[in-house]
Amino acid sequence: MEREVRVRFAPSPTGPLHIGGVRTALYNYLFARKMGGKMLLRIEDTDQNRFVPGAEQYIAESLKWCGIELDESPWSETPGPHAPYRQSERKPMYMEYAMQLINSGHAYYAFDTPEELDAMRARLTAAKVPNPQYNSITRTQMRNSLTLPEDEVKQLLDSGSPYVIRLKVPRKEEVRFNDMIRGWVVVHSSSIDDKVLMKSDGMPTYHLANIVDDHLMEITHVIRGEEWLPSAPLHVLLYRYFGWEDTMPQFAHLPLLLKPDGTGKLSKRDGDRLGFPVFPLEWHGTDVETGQPTVSSGYRESGYLPDAFINFLAFLGWNPGSQQEIFSMPELIEAFSIERVSKSPARFDQNKVRWYNEHYLRAKPDTELAQFLLAALQEHNIACSAEKAVQIVGAMKERVTFPQDFWREAQYFFIAPESYDEQVISKKWNAATASALLEFAQELPAHSDTTPEGIKTLLTMVLERQGVKIGQVLQALRVVVTGVAAGPDLMAIMSILGAQETAQRITTAVERLASKISA
């Protein structure tokens, strides 16, 4: 019988979600929706030492912002069929599974103290063993239930001596599995160590908890980052020893995310250095060295739109096999397939994510964009009609990357310039320009047509009369009206400002700049 597709995103709440983690969540989500299956989230918090307060909340908020919906999670209003979805709350059940492996001879108790483990490693290092491990060879010389007499083991357990439970990895066996992205992966068991399954604090390790939960939660596909590929053979062994091979999930290990220059794994430091966020939302943390509070920027706060971020992220390691680059979430779901996920690492491109943001911003109706500007104006206590805001964003939208750019770039619509771009003035300001513009300013308020076209007609007429070419004055006119050398269509700016205000600004500038005209 075909099983229902069930995938999971299984973050550990050890800090903010890295962009790579969000990509893992996204691919799981796209796959689940595409296959008509379920997407669940499980919090893997068995390592209490690495627990960071606020991280779980952060993960929840991030996924929500991205539009990644969960069918089952610790935050669902109705508990899912496999609740609880936080491993710390599932703690009592893991021991039972570890015992199952002990009883079938696939796991054993190990009583070695930290000092004994250190001594073993030192001995092996001295003997020039390249990678000292607790494994099928070394375990024969350690204090565990394989080497100690049965009654001593019993006595140690009864007396409450600290112990861990380790997996008994066979010495010579081939472990193989077919990764959906990488094809057959074959590993020799001699390269796998006897991993701890239960820690001395009674908590399972990631490996045990992850496999038990994936099995109990009926996971059919494990889609996760490449950094987990080395753990997969161990996981395959666990499925085998539990007798769960028939329902073992299919693995898909996603490609690495590289720095923009392709020289290594993308890190938060690269983001800080090159000025782009690596986290979906702003993260308030603590500097490990100084203990001081730190803030790391997030895509949301930097002004990225979730649609743009998701579209960009989908392409980091996947492509639709066509030229199409713009995909809404439903379109991504429709187009997504694991077969088209690449094996080779994906390089992060900060220009591309900006490009996507510009695209999605421009695609929004002006009335919606106007809200960004109106909100900023309100913060600055500047009154503006909705109609005027719509006109301004309409004129500006081809020039902005982020919503906050509307206010930053459009301030001159509300505040007359105090100073003028020096370079343009020193090159373009002269007696002929000043006189032509002054005449234009004098005639403008009485001019009936103040549409951009109407203003242009008047300007052309005045300039013709004065014998000045439009190309000679246009830049100077822009600078005296706005203060700056670049911006959207100047006729549109003057039309939005209105005849009075435009004329006023020109007259003021002509007075202020009188001294700049060389004799």
Q: Where are the beta strands (DSSP E) in 96-172?
A: 107-110, 164-167
Which of these ranges, 8-16, 62-70, 298-306, 355-363, lies near ligand GLU under the rule CB under 6 A?
8-16
Among 5, 6, 7, 11, binds ligand GLU (CB under 6 A): 11
CB 277 within 8 A of CB 270: no
Q: DSSP characters for 205-259?
A: PHHHHHHHHHHHTT--EEEEEGGGGGGHHHHHHHHHHHT-GGGPPEEEEEPPEEP
Min dist CB 306 to ligand GLU, Å, is: 22
Distance CA 108, CA 136 (A): 12
Residues 406-425, one symbol each (x = binds ligand GLU by CB under 6 A, - = not), give --------------------
Min dist CB 453 to ligand GLU, Å, is: 59
Min dist CB 48 to ligand GLU, Å, is: 14
Cα angle value 325/271/319 (rounded, 5°): 20
Query: Would you call 268 a catalytic residue per the annotation?
Result: yes
Q: Where are the beta strands (DSSP E) in 303-433?
A: 346-347
Min dist CB 234 to ligand GLU, Å, is: 11
Q: Which is nearer to ligand GLU, 12 or 220 (CB)?
A: 12
Catalytic residue from among 199, 268, 352, 456: 268
Q: Which is nearer to ligand GLU, 16 or 487 (CB)?
A: 16
Q: In angstroms, what CA-CA distances link 489 with 397, 409, 423, 486?
A: 11, 13, 20, 9
Contacts of 482 (CB under 8 A, 6+ apart): 412, 417, 493
Among 12, 144, 205, 357, binds ligand GLU (CB under 6 A): 12
Q: DSSP characters for 457-505?
A: HHHHHHHHHHT--HHHHHHHHHHHHHSSS--S-HHHHHHHH-HHHHHHH
Among 5, 6, 7, 10, binds ligand GLU (CB under 6 A): 10
DSSP-based three-state secondary structure for 84: coil
Q: Which is nearer to ligand GLU, 10 or 490 (CB)?
A: 10
Which of these ranges, 7-15, 113-121, 155-163, 318-326, lies near ligand GLU under the rule CB under 6 A?
7-15
Binders in 44-73 for ligand GLU, by CB under 6 A: 44
CA dihedral over 359, 360, 366, 371, signed as positive or negative = negative
Min dist CB 44 to ligand GLU, Å, is: 4
Binders in 299-358 for ligand GLU, by CB under 6 A: none
Which of these ranges, 4-12, 27-35, 139-147, 244-252, lies near ligand GLU under the rule CB under 6 A?
4-12
Which of these ranges, 9-17, 140-148, 335-343, 438-446, lies near ligand GLU under the rule CB under 6 A?
9-17
Binders in 222-261 for ligand GLU, by CB under 6 A: 224, 228
Total residues in contact with ligand GLU, by rule CB under 6 A: 8
Q: Which is nearer to ligand GLU, 196 or 477 (CB)?
A: 196
Place of tokens 């373009």: 428
CB 12 within 8 A of CB 45: yes
Mark out the alpha helices in 280-328 (DSSP H runs).
299-302, 306-314
Distance CA 476, CA 246 (A): 77
Tell me how crowded residue 68 is: count the other CB atoms within 10 A of its CB: 22
Is 87 a binding residue for ligand GLU by CB under 6 A? The answer is no
268 in a labelled binding site: yes
Place of tokens 């066509």: 322
Min dist CB 27 to ligand GLU, Å, is: 12
Binders in 174-213 for ligand GLU, by CB under 6 A: 206, 210
Q: Which is nearer to ligand GLU, 206 or 348 (CB)?
A: 206
CA 349 to mean position of chain CA atoms: 13
Structure tokens at 241: 């020893």
Min dist CB 10 to ligand GLU, Å, is: 4
Distance CA 282, CA 93 (A): 36
Which of these ranges, 6-14, 51-59, 180-188, 316-324, lies near ligand GLU under the rule CB under 6 A?
6-14
Which residues are near ligand GLU by CB under 6 A?
Answer: 10-12, 44, 206, 210, 224, 228
Q: Which residues are annotated as a binding site for ATP?
A: 268
Known catalytic residues are 268
